[in-house]
Amino acid sequence: MAIKPNPDDELVFLPLGGAGEIGMNLNAYGYGPPEARKWIIVDIGVTFGNGATPGVDVILPDPAFLEERREDILGIVLTHAHEDHIGAIGWLWPRLRAPVYATPFTAALVREKLKEKMLLERVKLTEIPLKGKLALGPFDMELVTLTHSIPEPNGVAIRTPLGLVWHTGDWKIDPDPMIGETTDVASLRAMAEEGVLAMVCDSTNVFVEGESGSEADVRSELTTLIKGLKGRVAVTAFASNVARVESAIHAAQACGRSVCLVGRSMHRVVAAAQSVGLLQDAPPFVDEADAAYFPRDQILYLCTGSQGEPRAALTRIATGNHRHITLGAGDHVVFSSRVIPGNEAAIFALYNALIERGVDVITGEDENVHVSGHPCRDELRQMYAWARPRIAVPVHGELRHLREHVKLALELQTPQALAPRNGDLIRLAPGPAQVIDEVPAGRLYADGAALIEPDAEALRDRRRIAAEGLIAVALVVDERKHAILSGPDVRLRGLSLSNAEDEEIAIEDLEAAAEAAFLRLKHGERADDEAAENAVQRAVRKTAEGIWGKRPFVEVMLMRA
């Protein structure tokens, strides 16, 4: 880069998601003096809720630090189209309002997300060709082709006056990825000759020795496996893995089976792939309603739901709740996917539901029907040999992954390595890399159409109700005399007793406690709604604790007439 740095200029890296966790990637790079930095954002993804976040399916990184500096954000650059790299764009763009840059397949899926949020006309979305270049202020960027489990995976070579940063995004080394080009080794070697200041690198499989394997091997294995199966066959995979989708289609054709796409995500991703010229040789797909009339050994269902998602197509099939598709004895489901940590219970429940229906379940533990999209240790060693960075900054991993990655980088003679946490502001240059500040790096929960804080009262209430149950108490009070006209009337939710008689007795005790608490109040206290409700609430909760050994959520509704 021809621009010379000013004496006060710094190059900094800031992860706000994806450092100390797998998923929810949001990375920012800043350049300039501390009081006047310009920023770019690389990826803006989500993670997903669980039992600890009732009612919340999507979790996003909190962009508050960048939102305060949005006038200095030059652009949002997306490496690829996985949800943990693009899923937050529709939610967070209104807070950042920066131009967005992506390759064609990624842009196709981003448009769908923007359309859902009615932002498509507002967002400046620019398509960059594969291996394209982009200049934003002090950042000169070049996309470098890699291989991964989705079309058009890119690393980003970020050139600045203070040095070149190699941001890998998600990657692996696949000699035969089936869709797209192989790793652009020439560009990696050229960067090494130029000098790589820092490599910000995927850490997902740092504990796994060897190599992740090739998509070509999966295609061959799927074809051999399905040829030997009778009855209906369903293959479930991540819809975004278009090469795997194509492999399932090829296997079906080789076995004389027609393909039925099942699940919204499968249809959406296949449409996006075809819009950019992929899957052009796929035969016409069979409609779900028509597939039931095909002979059992002439149909293959390609389904979403490999992670046991409760509303996904495969879960509905397994529970007998799908409108058109049933599977039973003599049928087979092939899980061409991995078990994402945290999803074990849901996936195993799905296995059992299918087995209960007589379905044969086949997983990657049984046959070679899945390979990871992330680098194992031999691939990491190769990347370090190609890039030869002076600083290693592991991301995309839990803390244990990042620290193991640091050890590996140092063993590979990388001069410096450090494991960041979300919110660590790391100065990469000038001088040795170090954390120079900590900025707010929280989470936001998508609660329906709203974004809320993790400690929002609504979530606290849900967690408590889920754990302890709910008691609703209603009573009507005379507006002038403040005497009880009706009630107290008690309703229970999420609280159980051995039989209906015990429940009736418990309700009578709770109603008596509520009435006594109200009657103990002085005349002036009865006139104060808040004081009266609090007194009744305390009495009911104390009585409930004696009955159930719990302190349930108590909601008191006092009405005056």
Q: What amino acid is encoded at 245 in this protein?
A: V
If one counts the domains in the chain, the total is 3
Same domain, 420 and 334: no
Model confidence pLDDT, tens digit, residues 228-250: 999 999 999 999 999 999 999 99
C-beta separation of 76 from 41 below 8 A: yes
Same domain, 190 and 241: no
Model confidence pLDDT, tens digit, residues 79-101: 999 999 999 999 999 999 999 99
Same domain, 378 and 346: no
pLDDT value at position 400? 97
Angle between helix axes 104-116 and 264-275 (nearest 10 degrees) is 130
Q: Give percent of the chain above pLDDT 90.
A: 86
In a domain, 414, yes or no: yes
What CATH number is given to the structural domain containing 94? Answer: 3.60.15.10
In the predicted structure, residue 111 carries a pLDDT above the cut 90 = yes
Q: Measuring CA to CA, how many Å separate 457 from each of 319, 397, 530?
A: 34, 30, 18
Mean pLDDT within 276-291: 95
Residue 323: closest CA among 371, 262, 385: 262
Burial class (CB in 10 A: 0-12, 13-18, 19+), 403: middle
Model confidence pLDDT, tens digit, residues 376-396: 999 999 999 999 999 999 999
Same domain, 18 and 133: yes
- ω before 430 within 30° of 0 (cis)? yes
**Residue 203 phi, psi (nearest 5):** -120, 10
Mean pLDDT within 530-554: 93
pLDDT value at position 463? 86
In a domain, 451, yes or no: no
Query: Domain span at residue 30?
Result: 11-210+372-442
Q: Which residue has the tokens 């600890």?
A: 52
Q: What is the mean pLDDT of the chain?
A: 95
Same domain, 420 and 540: no
In a domain, 163, yes or no: yes
Domain boundary among 407, 442, 477: 442
Same domain, 205 and 72: yes
Question: Residue 268: which residues within 8 A CB-CB, separation 6 or more?
Answer: 109, 112, 239
Same domain, 83 and 102: yes
Q: What is the spatial distance between Cα 308 and Cα 344, in angstroms, rounded to a whole number?
A: 9
Same domain, 241 and 284: yes
In the predicted structure, residue 507 carries a pLDDT above the cut 70 = yes
What CATH number is given to the structural domain containing 290? Answer: 3.40.50.10710
Same domain, 354 and 377: no
Mean pLDDT within 202-213: 97
In a domain, 399, yes or no: yes
Q: Is beta strand 196-202 parallel, antiparallel or unpaired with respect to 163-167?
A: parallel
In a domain, 2, yes or no: no
In the predicted structure, residue 441 carries a pLDDT above the cut 60 = yes
pLDDT band at 478 (very low <50, low <70, confident <90, very high): confident
Mean pLDDT within 126-142: 98
pTM for the complete prediction?
0.89
In the predicted structure, residue 1 carries a pLDDT above the cut 60 = no
pLDDT value at position 466? 87
In a domain, 447, yes or no: no
pLDDT band at 2 (very low <50, low <70, confident <90, very high): low
Enter the DSSP assignment of 561: -
Same domain, 199 and 238: no
What CATH number is given to the structural domain containing 553? Answer: 3.10.20.580
Same domain, 150 and 27: yes
In the predicted structure, residue 145 carries a pLDDT above the cut 80 = yes
pLDDT band at 340 (very low <50, low <70, confident <90, very high): confident
In a domain, 3, yes or no: no
Q: Which helix (H) or strand (E) holds 135?
A: strand 133-136
Q: What is the spatial distance between Cα 541 and Cα 487, in angstroms, rounded to a whole number?
A: 17
In a domain, 262, yes or no: yes
Domain boundary among 362, 386, 420: 362
Domain boundary among 316, 342, 362: 362
Same domain, 277 and 381: no
In the predicted structure, residue 215 carries a pLDDT above the cut 60 = yes
